[in-house]
């Protein structure tokens, strides 16, 4: 390195040290300068002020807002979830996503104080078209109304206007929920109304292809489920949750074609569903009932097997058999009296669009598989 270059470097170092010294003197004269200077990594806006995220977020004052007891009706595709209800060993449940949305939109303070009830507890892989929950949500109705609790520490005289609409619950939640979980509508409910205890009936559907099944025999056998019976041989024992009574009432049990106007055919690709309507159901009851129907449809068991298993005096112990798989099962309807459901046409269209997207993808994949099977069947002719 040349002597001139070395001298140049030393001169630059001296100038740098001089600038540092001046800056230190200036910050010592004005202590506010040091306070206002952002730390490394701290975000500032264009004027040099700290951004909002740098400060502590102001807590939301739920006590200054009315609460309203409401029913929410939701649909979800359960195939990617470990069930509806929150579980200790996983957060991959529909209910976990639902409460994340409720907290994010600040419709509730927390689950513990939300007066929450659910109508049904669907298993891993099971979907729902009409699941219903009841819960207390933040409201705008200072003037009161069905299910409204007005805060005591707030002067409501200036805020009590009857023409103020309530919060758009469906829109708020659907904007933050996953696309496979959708709120359909909501209804105001009386304070003591419970989605669990005030449900008049629950309807499940289980979809299946004809294949080589005797569908007519299955339809005849399904009628044997109707009435009040002891279903301990047609469920999974859930004694750990305090279930010690196994009598349940089945209002109807039918096997129908998916096509509302089916032509007479024996096409193995025709789709059917087992629809069962009851007051309440035991753990895995519907899948156990469907398992028996599939055995009957395959002629592996006679229809009388249902009567035999419902007679717990003669058959007090459940025999070994495999449950029907989970993904074709849907909680199709939960029936309530006295609820006036409120729909938003725009949100209905959004839900339809989401379902149409899922249907398009699934229908195309189904046709790809069908085409491959038809090709293999054509080869086997030669």
123, 166, 180, 198: the catalytic one is 123
Distance (Å, whole) CA 337 – CA 185 = 16
Distance (Å, whole) CA 8 – CA 20 = 19
Asked about 185 being catalytic, the answer comes back as no
Give the residue numbers marked as catalytic: 123
């Amino acid at each position: 390195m040349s002597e001139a270059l070395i001298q140049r470097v030393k001169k630059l170092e001296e100038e740098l040290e001089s600038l540092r010294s001046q800056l230190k003197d200036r910050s010592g004269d004005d202590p506010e300068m040091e306070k206002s200077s952002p730390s490394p990594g701290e975000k500032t806006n264009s004027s040099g002020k700290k951004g909002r995220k740098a400060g502590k977020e102001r807590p939301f004052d739920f006590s200054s807002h009315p609460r309203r007891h409401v029913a929410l009706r939701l649909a979800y595709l359960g195939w990617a979830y470990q069930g509806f209800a929150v579980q200790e060993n996983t957060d991959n449940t529909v209910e976990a996503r639902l409460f994340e949305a409720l907290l994010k939109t600040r419709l509730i303070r927390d689950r513990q104080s939300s007066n929450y009830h659910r109508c049904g507890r669907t298993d891993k892989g099971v979907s729902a078209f009409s699941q219903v929950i009841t819960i207390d949500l933040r409201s705008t109705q200072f003037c009161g109304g069905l299910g409204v609790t007005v805060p005591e520490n707030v002067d409501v005289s200036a805020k009590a206007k009857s023409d103020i609409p309530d919060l758009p619950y469906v829109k708020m939640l659907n904007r933050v929920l996953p696309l496979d979980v959708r709120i359909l509508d909501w209804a105001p409910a009386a304070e003591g109304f419970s989605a669990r205890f005030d449900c008049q009936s629950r309807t499940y559907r289980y979809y299946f292809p004809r294949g080589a099944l005797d569908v007519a025999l299955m339809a005849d056998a399904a009628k044997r489920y109707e009435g009040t019976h002891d279903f301990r041989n047609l469920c999974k024992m859930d004694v750990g949750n305090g279930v010690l009574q196994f009598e349940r009432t089945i209002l109807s049990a039918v096997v129908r074609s998916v096509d509302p106007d089916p032509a007479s055919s024996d096409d193995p690709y025709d789709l059917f569903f087992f629809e069962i309507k009851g007051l309440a159901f035991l753990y895995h009851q519907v899948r156990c009932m469907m398992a028996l129907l599939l055995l009957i449809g395959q002629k592996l068991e006679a229809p009388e097997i249902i009567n035999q298993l419902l007679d717990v005096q003669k058959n007090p112990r459940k025999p070994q058999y495999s449950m029907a798989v989970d993904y074709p099962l849907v909680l199709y309807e939960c029936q309530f009296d006295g609820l006036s459901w409120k729909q938003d046409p725009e949100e209905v269209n959004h839900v339809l669009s989401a379902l149409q997207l899922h249907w398009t993808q699934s229908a195309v994949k189904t046709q790809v598989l069908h085409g491959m099977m038809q090709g293999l069947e054509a080869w086997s002719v030669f």
